[in-house]
Amino acid sequence: MAKLAIEGGKKTVTLHPAPWPRLGTDEVKAVTAAARAARTNPSYLSSPDGRGIVGKFEERFARKMGTKYAMTTCGGGPALHIALMAAGVQAGDEVICPTYSWGQSVSCVLQVNAIPIFADIDPDIYTMTAKTIEAKLTRYTRAIIVVHIFGHPVDMGPIMRLARKRGIPVIEDAAQATGAKYKGKRVGSLGDIGCFSIGDGKQIIGGEGGLLLTNNRKLYERGLLTGHHPVRHYQITDPELKSWSDSLIYTYRMHPMAAVICNVMLGKMDRFNSERRRNYGRLTKGLADIPGIKPPVVKRNCEHVFHIYSPTFVPEEVEGVKREVWVEALGAERMPIGLGYVWQPIHLRRRLVRHAYFSGRGVPWTLHRGKKDIRYRKGDCPVAEARCASTELSIWGGPAWMGDQSKIVDQFLRAFHKVTDNLDVLRKRSKQKRK
């Protein structure tokens, strides 16, 4: 039996995928060509009017994703902020969002001085469900933000039926799921507004940047008004909205070079995503006979795009082994695995529990429309809380998993087998840890 690296043995994993983001020759060529073109055509470096390369990229993105309109932004966070402004969410309104996400799915709510109301997650795919959302709806709910966490699509059908019945707009945070499909349709095109990120670590990148999608002309125009330069407001047809054009709000425009880079990447997106699926599929298959770990679930009619591979620790299968010790042993083999991604459910984070967001004066909670005192407590979202506390696992490097990575995957699997062969050593270490 091979000696564990944590006990001084040889490390199993020697190969690693190349880092991400990675620019291909095509991206470099496109950037160079754009820089040259900018000498005679300034719109290659500055296009606040949304014409030129930025407009072309928007058109192409919308077509690819299956919506009428796309709007570029300087990030996924700004896209979410614009979405809430466009949806008409106001100070003191309630917005339903997940506690199991990246912080920006929630900070956008605070940014408009609305009050986040947290809904629990599905234990298999870690996203909110129609059921968990319905439990949190009140007459003060003005929007729902769903997150396709890790790249797995939310079960949008029942959520949209519920939201339509109640007349509440649904915003999709698709920042981790560019290209993912739900029942044959792209995520981000299923709700009222979809928000994307093309920043560091996402499926396709532009350096920094984001996009917003919608089929609704009114929401599109309100978004333009919120985040784009007045020279672009010629696109606004609603005279009432147009009259606000002098009141510049946020400078959330995309850098044209980001559009140039991402426009090339967009053409490779489906290939990248299917290669990720193939590599992770090999890992999932190989993990079937490893005790202590349950691979991420992919639901029927869903195409997962794996921003992060997030399996679940199953303590019953490795009795006496602590999750920390098991992960530490794998880490020593140079397996890129961590204890968690979310770590602490957002509703239990200090600034929320203490109502101490930024200004520190109790805003937005003091502004509640019905004067309710909204508090966040342990037990509000038991599934998400339990996952963070004891079963969450993450395997990093998602977007880098393109091409054929089977050699690396096989090394990863060897590391899992080695750790499995040495569970007794880990039991001993777990006991020591307890003392």
- CA-closest candidate to residue 364, choices 139, 99, 90: 90
Query: What is the number of other CB atoms lying within 10 angstroms of the CB of residue 219?
Result: 24
Q: How far is the CB of 172 from ligand PLP (least distance, A)?
A: 10
Identity of the residue, 173 or 380, whose beta carbon is nearer to ligand PLP in the bound complex:
173
Q: How far is the CB of 90 from ligand PLP (least distance, A)?
A: 22
CB-wise, 76 or 292, nearer to ligand PLP?
Answer: 76
104 binds ligand PLP (CB under 6 A): yes
8 Å CB contact between 140 and 93: yes
Two tokens at 175? 């920042």
- CB of residue 304 vs ligand PLP: minimum separation in angstroms? 15
Q: Which residue lies nearest ligand PLP, judged by its C-beta?
A: 76
Cβ atoms 198, 211 nearer than 8 A: yes
Q: DSSP class of residue 392?
A: B
Q: Of 92 and 199, which has the nearer Cβ to ligand PLP?
A: 199
- We find the least distance from the C-beta atom of residue 252 to ligand PLP, in angstroms, to be 10
Q: Does residue 197 belong to the site contacting ligand PLP (CB under 6 A)?
A: yes
98 binds ligand PLP (CB under 6 A): no
210 sits near ligand PLP (criterion: CB under 6 A): yes
CA–CA dist 262, 36 (Å, integer)? 18
Total residues at the site for ligand PLP (CB under 6 A)? 14
Question: Smallest gap, in angstroms, from Cβ of residue 314 to ligand PLP?
Answer: 26
Instruction: For residue 105, state whether it binds ligand PLP (rule: CB under 6 A).
Output: yes
Ranges within 170-189 binding ligand PLP (CB under 6 A): 173, 175-176
x-or-dash string of contact with ligand PLP, 42-81, rule CB under 6 A:
---------------------------------xxx----
Please tell me the distance from the alpha carbon of residue 27 to that of residue 264, in angstroms, as a whole number.
6
| φ, ψ at 142 (rounded to 5°) | -120, -10
State the amino acid at position 151 in one-letter form: G
DSSP 324-381: HHHHHHHHHTT--EES-SS-S-GGGSHHHHTT--TT-S-TTGGG-TT-------TTSS
From 5, 83, 97, 147, residue interacting with ligand PLP (rule: CB under 6 A): 147
Query: Is 75 or 397 the residue whose CB approaches ligand PLP more closely?
Result: 75
Helix axes 269-286 and 256-266, enclosed angle (nearest 10): 60
Residue of the chain from 44, 57, 61, 102 that contacts ligand PLP (CB under 6 A) = 102
Closest CA to 177 of 276, 97, 252: 276
Length of the chain: 435
175 versus 335: smaller Cβ distance to ligand PLP: 175
Task: Decide the pairing of beta strands 141-147 and 94-98.
Answer: parallel
Taking CB under 6 A as the rule, does residue 107 contact ligand PLP? no
Minimum distance, C-beta of residue 123 to ligand PLP, in the bound complex (Å): 19
Instruction: List interacting residues with ligand PLP (CB under 6 A).
Output: 75-77, 101-102, 104-105, 147, 173, 175-176, 197, 199, 210
